[in-house]
C-alpha cells in the first residue's frame, strides 16, 4: 500500500494542460484584496463586481419560502420545470415578438453552465471559437474547456466598441465552431444594433448570443438574435435583471435538433437547475415587473451620475453605456497599467474597480466601473477617487 501511494504521489499526477492556459478572473483578485482590507476594519466602496445590490424581488423570496414549507425541494425535470420554460417562452413572445418552443429551452444553474454546454456541444480538439477583445473574461476559458482555440475579433474605441461584421468575417475558417456575441455588452455597455444582428445571423456559423443583460437598457431596447434566426444559441438568466445572482438560475434557448444532446450533457454534468431557484424564477416572471422596472430606473440614474463625475475627473469614455451596469473608461491620463492602477486605487482610495486587462489585451489603460451600488455609495466612491487622483497628481508634480 505504501508503495502504491508513493508511486501515485501528487508530483506524479498528470494535470490537464488546458487548465494552465486559463486565466484567473482578475476582478476576483481585486475583490478578495478588498475583503482582506475590510477584515482589518477599512471601509471599501465596491465598484468592481457586476452584482446587483438589490434583493431578490418579493415574489421570488416568497416562492422559495413556500417551496421549503411545502417540501417542494426535489429534483425537477433535467430540462427545467415545464411551467418555467413556458413562462420564458411567453416573455420572448411578449418582448421580442418571437415564438419560442418551450421544448427548445433548457434551464441551467446560472448562465455559465449554459455557456459551457454550448461550447461542449459545438467544439472538438482543433476547433476555433471567435470572441471579442474586450469581452467577458470567461468566454475564453469556456472555449479552452472544450479543447478549442480562442480567436479574438476587435471591438475598437474609434467605433464605440461596436461589434462589426467586417472585423469578424475574415476570421471565419472551416474549423470555426462558434462565435460569441454579447448584447448589452460587458464591459462597455454597448448594444448591438438590429441590422448588425441580422448580418451576423447570415454568416452561416453557430452563434452563442449572451443576452444576460437584457432588460437593463436605458435609451433603446436590446434586440435578441432570435428575432433574426431560429438557429441561434441564446443564453440568458435571472442574475442581472432580477438580482438573483446567488440563486444560480439561467437558461439556454437552442435549435431543436440539438436539444437531446444538450439534455444529455445537462443530465450528466448538472442533473438539473436548483428547484428553489426555478420556483423563484417563475414567480418573478409572473409578478415582479414593477419591481424590476424600479431597479432599471435606479441603474439609469446611477449611470448618469457616474458618467458626469468620471468625465469631470479626466477619464475618457469612448462608448456611452446603453445597457448593463458598467462604464468602461480610458484611463491613459492616469496609467498605462490598469491592473496596477486598480490596486493603487483600492489601497489608497479604498474604492474597488476592475482593470481593463481582465477583458482582454486591449484593456491595458482601461478600467471598468460598476454602478450596481447605491447612489450614496457611488457619491462617496467618486469623492474618494477624486481626492486620490488630485493628491496623486500633486505628488507627481512635486
DSSP conformation letters of 77-101: -TT--HHHHHHHHHHHHHHH-----
Has residue 249 got a pLDDT over 80? Answer: yes
Residue 30 bridge partners (DSSP): none
Q: Which residue has the higher pLDDT, 73 or 392?
A: 73
Domains by residue range for the chain, with CATH: 21-50+290-397 (3.90.1150.10), 58-287 (3.40.640.10)
Tell whether the model's pLDDT for residue 64 goes beyond 70: yes
Given this model, what pLDDT does residue 277 score? Answer: 98
What's the pLDDT band for 1 if we cut at 50, 70, 90? low
Q: What is the structure's pLDDT at 9?
A: 54
Res. 241: pLDDT tops 80: yes
Inter-CA distances, 344 with 6, 30, 290, Å:
46, 11, 40
**pLDDT tens across 93-109, in order?**
999 999 999 999 999 99
Residues 6+ apart with CB under 8 A from 396: none
Cβ atoms of 286 and 147 closer than 8 Å: no
Whether residue 276 contacts residue 68, with contact meaning beta carbons closer than 8 Å, is answered with yes
Residue of 271 and 16 predicted with greater confidence: 271
The pLDDT tens digits of the residues spanning 105-123 come to 999 999 999 999 999 999 9
Per-residue pLDDT, averaged over 46-70, amounts to 96
Place 28 in a pLDDT band, splitting at 50, 70 and 90: confident
Residue identified by cell 439609469 is: 300
pLDDT in tens, 290-340: 999 999 999 999 999 999 999 999 999 999 999 999 999 999 999 999 999
**What would the mean pLDDT of 75-80 be, rounded to a whole number?**
98
Collapsing DSSP states into helix, strand and coil, what is residue 174?
Answer: coil
Closest CA to 185 of 209, 151, 157: 209
Percent with pLDDT over 70 in the chain: 94
pLDDT of residue 6: 52
C-alpha cell at 369: 466601473
Residue 398 pLDDT level (bands cut at 50, 70, 90): very low
pLDDT of residue 16: 78
Q: Give the DSSP H or E segment for 233.
A: strand 233-237
Burial class (CB in 10 A: 0-12, 13-18, 19+), 256: exposed
Average pLDDT over residues 330-352: 96
Lowest mean pLDDT among 3-7, 19-23, 213-217: 3-7
Mean of the pLDDT values across residues 364-377? Answer: 97
- When pLDDT is cut at 50, 70 and 90, the band that residue 15 belongs to is confident
Amino acid at each position: 500500500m505504501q508503495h502504491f501511494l508513493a508511486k501515485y504521489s501528487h508530483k506524479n499526477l498528470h494535470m490537464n494542460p488546458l487548465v494552465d492556459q486559463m486565466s484567473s478572473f482578475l476582478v476576483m483578485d481585486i475583490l478578495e484584496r478588498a475583503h482582506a482590507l475590510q477584515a482589518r476594519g477599512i471601509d471599501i466602496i465596491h465598484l468592481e463586481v457586476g452584482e446587483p445590490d438589490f434583493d431578490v424581488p418579493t415574489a421570488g423570496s416568497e416562492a422559495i419560502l413556500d417551496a421549503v414549507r411545502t417540501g417542494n425541494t426535489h429534483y425537477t425535470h433535467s430540462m427545467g420545470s415545464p411551467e418555467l420554460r413556458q413562462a420564458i417562452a411567453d416573455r420572448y413572445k411578449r418582448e421580442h415578438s418571437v415564438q419560442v418552443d418551450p421544448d427548445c429551452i433548457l434551464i441551467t444553474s446560472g448562465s455559465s453552465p449554459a455557456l459551457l454546454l454550448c461550447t461542449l456541444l459545438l467544439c472538438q480538439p482543433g476547433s476555433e471559437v471567435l470572441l471579442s477583445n474586450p469581452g467577458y473574461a470567461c468566454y475564453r476559458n469556456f472555449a479552452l474547456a472544450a479543447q478549442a482555440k480562442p480567436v479574438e475579433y476587435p471591438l475598437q474605441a474609434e467605433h464605440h466598441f461596436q461589434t462589426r461584421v467586417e472585423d469578424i468575417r475574415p476570421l471565419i475558417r472551416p474549423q470555426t465552431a462558434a462565435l460569441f456575441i454579447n448584447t448589452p455588452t460587458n464591459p462597455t455597455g454597448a448594444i448591438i444594433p438590429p441590422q448588425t444582428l441580422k448580418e451576423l445571423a447570415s454568416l452561416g456559423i453557430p452563434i452563442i448570443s449572451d443576452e444576460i443583460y437584457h432588460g437593463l437598457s436605458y435609451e433603446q431596447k436590446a434586440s435578441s438574435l432570435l428575432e433574426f434566426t431560429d438557429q441561434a444559441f441564446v443564453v440568458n438568466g435571472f442574475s442581472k435583471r432580477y438580482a438573483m445572482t446567488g440563486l444560480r438560475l439561467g437558461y439556454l434557448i437552442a435549435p431543436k435538433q440539438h436539444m437531446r444532446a444538450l439534455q444529455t450533457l445537462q443530465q450528466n454534468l448538472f442533473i438539473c437547475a436548483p428547484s428553489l431557484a426555478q420556483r423563484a424564477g417563475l414567480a418573478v416572471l409572473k409578478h415582479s415587473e414593477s419591481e424590476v422596472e424600479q431597479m432599471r430606473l435606479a441603474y439609469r440614474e446611477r449611470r448618469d451620475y457616474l458618467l458626469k463625475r468620471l468625465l469631470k475627473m479626466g477619464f475618457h469614455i469612448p462608448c456611452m453605456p446603453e445597457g448593463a451596469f458598467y462604464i468602461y473608461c480610458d484611463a491613459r491620463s492616469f496609467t498605462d497599467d490598469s491592473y496596477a492602477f486598480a490596486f493603487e486605487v483600492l489601497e489608497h482610495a479604498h474604492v474597488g474597480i476592475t482593470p481593463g486587462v481582465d477583458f482582454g489585451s486591449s484593456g491595458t489603460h482601461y478600467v471598468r466601473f460598476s454602478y450596481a451600488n447605491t447612489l450614496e455609495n457611488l457619491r462617496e466612491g467618486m469623492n474618494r477617487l477624486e481626492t486620490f487622483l488630485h493628491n496623486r497628481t500633486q505628488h507627481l508634480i512635486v
